Amino acid sequence: MLRRISLFLFALFLVSCGSNTEDASQASYDFPWYNPEIGFEERVQLLIDEMTVEEKIDQLLYNAPAIDRLGVPDYNWWNEALHGVARNGRATVFPQPIGLGATFDTELLFRIFSAVSDEARAKFNVSTSIGNRKRYAGLTFWTPNINIFRDPRWGRGMETYGEDPYLTGQMGLACVNGLQGDDPKYLKTGACAKHFAVHSGPEELRHEFDAVTSMKDLYETYLPAFKRLVIEGNVESVMGAYNRVNGEAACASQLLLKDVLMDQWNFKGHILSDCWAIKDFHTGHMVTSSAAESAAFALNMGVSLNCGDTYPFLGEALEQGLVTEETINERLSTLFITRFELGLFDPDEMNPYNEVDESVINSDAHLDLAYEAAVKSLVLLKNKGNVLPLSSDIRSLYVLGPHANNSEVLIGNYYGMSGSLVNILEGITSRVSVGTSINYSPGVLAYRQNVNPMDWTTETAQQQDAIIAVMGISGMIEGEEGESLASSNKGDRLELNLPENQVKYLKKLREGNEKPLIVVITGGSPMTIPEVEELADAILWVWYPGQEGGNAVADIIFGNESPSGKLPLTFPLSVDQLPDYEDYSMVERTYRYMTSKPLYPFGYGLSYTKFSFNDLYLDKEEIAADETLTVSVDVKNSGDIEADEVVQLYITVPDQASNQPLWALKKFERITLKKGASTTVSFELTARDLEQFNEEGKTGVLPGEYVIHIGNGSPGERGQELGVQLVSTTFRVN
């Protein structure tokens, strides 16, 4: 938004300089909208004024055709960069977003997506030079997915940063800043906040489903991350969701698009539909009766770009008086502003991002970044008797499991292609001594019983000094509708257990065996694994860790790195603890409202060292609702190795009887401490951090006594049982 305002003021300045100068400067260009001395707003208007209605409508489609007579090249808006440039060939593959969420590291996220946008610019520069303007070759990325992972059964939850609105907003903001760059005139790439806004399954019903939510839950849980990206991040675009929200199609919602996004937040970028979502208006939701009505409905509600094939019916809608050409012009202008901000109508030398060359793609620096991200994402859930780390000089080791030698579990979904994927077996093999006897076998199929009943692995494995079993799931059984080929629920996981055959195999490995059993689990969503918790000596949760995942896993196992990832969501003990999947109320959902005891709580993750939290200090004991409170805590690494810790601050608000959260994350900071070292971590809490919402969606700061909790995990009984360190105190708001 700030970029658009500054460009508009620049245009006014140029106009004020006099028409003679303008006429002279335009004379050297074939078309006036190619004149870089004129502001973007004016150039766009000059272009639109020359277009026919048919040409305008064509430009509202994701695969906008060229207009040769006006010098407008074709442009395909559809591109993805969920954890690296996706679906467009060679690119660095970073961990899946749910794993990035586990890093709790916004500075890392910014560096990652700065690298992603570098690779995107380099690929675009090469692609255009060879005439490749197809889907996934552009600069407008439909990233990040900042929906709230409210229910662990949702197959696309792995695309998000977890279940917490604050964490999601902070990580999403860092992603947007990295993608869009900091040039005052040009966008590096265009980012997109999706899917606006109450959207997290069921996948099977998304084309007809109505997500019903209270105004409290809407404003307190589902909207905050979007608000942060729009207002603080100036995100270039917002994508609507497939489903309805409180009866309104999300891609034509008066509440979401008009009242909230444009009126309350003053969003000036472009709005786009999810792919073929506008068609759902008349085929699934039945809120319109024809394609022309659906196209008009979306356009009138603010949607500029149709990912799909419904907007060609705008010509029919125009004839029927359902839309006006003025509205078409308004929507079209937001799209061309983005294309101008990307520098697509300016001389190459004017745009600094045109200097990025292909040497950045899969560069050593990006390889190091992928490794760092993978290491920081891994979460150690159990380490009985400090069985980890193993010595790299271990005499004998058996690596088992269907995902040990499987590169598919590195990449998740919406991925790019890398020539240097390192799977977990390869990583482990590269880290052990050449004198170590190491063997490998899958041992068990991924999702069903072995067809061959013979077992040549269990007895041999039990004779080794340690067993590493790489279990879990992959994108074959969780993901987007139609993407997960082995899923019986179109990508959702209605049962959250580790596949039964894998659990049975772990039981065989454990039976009569006292040697260390380390279980490495892949997956993008929580699992109910109490049996694994009992069987394993150590459990390392690795998500879908990207191209360097194997090296990162190995370095954690052998102690070259200390684990530091934290769960960005709650692992329930049983699916019976969850409300109905189709219920969008937050009652009993996520760590903020769940009253039953989980298996692993939000924010939890072990380390190879021990951190202590002491001397929690507030600069005031009482504050007015508009004052700022400074909170400080001393953190000490009392172990004997350097390691990272994530310092987390939670608030419990007064008036719990009115459906307020039990506690909510408000601040966090990742720190590095040498062995024996201490530091003081300080946070500032403002009225925005303390605000709560009532059932009408109205906000305010409640008077009364607040509780502050600071430590390395969320409050709660289960966290205490697992050794989460917390210190707490109170203050009052008058």
Q: Which positions are catalytic?
A: 274
Bin 523: left if φ > 0, else alpha if -120 < ψ < 50, else beta: left
Per DSSP bridges, beta strands 210-211 and 192-196 are unpaired
Strand, helix or coil for residue 81: coil
Say if CB 120 and CB 133 are below 8 A apart.
Answer: no
Strand, helix or coil for residue 589: coil
Fill in the DSSP letter of residue 66: P
Q: Which residues pair with 227 in a beta bridge?
A: none
- Rounded CA-CA distance 575/156 in Å is 18
Measure the CA angle with vertex 10, ends 8 and 13; round to 5°: 115
Structure tokens at 142: 């439909």
Say if CB 411 and CB 546 are below 8 A apart.
Answer: yes
Q: Which residues pair with 726 in a beta bridge?
A: 711
Please choose, from the candidates 645, 702, 653, the residue with its C-alpha nearest in 3D space to the C-alpha of residue 673.
645
- Rounded CA-CA distance 377/187 in Å is 29
Residues 6+ apart with CB under 8 A from 161: 97, 98, 100, 101, 144, 146, 167, 168, 171, 172, 568
Residue given tokens 């749910």 in the structure block: 98
Label residues 18-48 b or e (16+ Cβ within 10 Å = b): eeeebeebbeeeebbbbbbebbbbbbbbbbb
Backbone angles phi, psi at 372, to 5 degrees: -60, -45
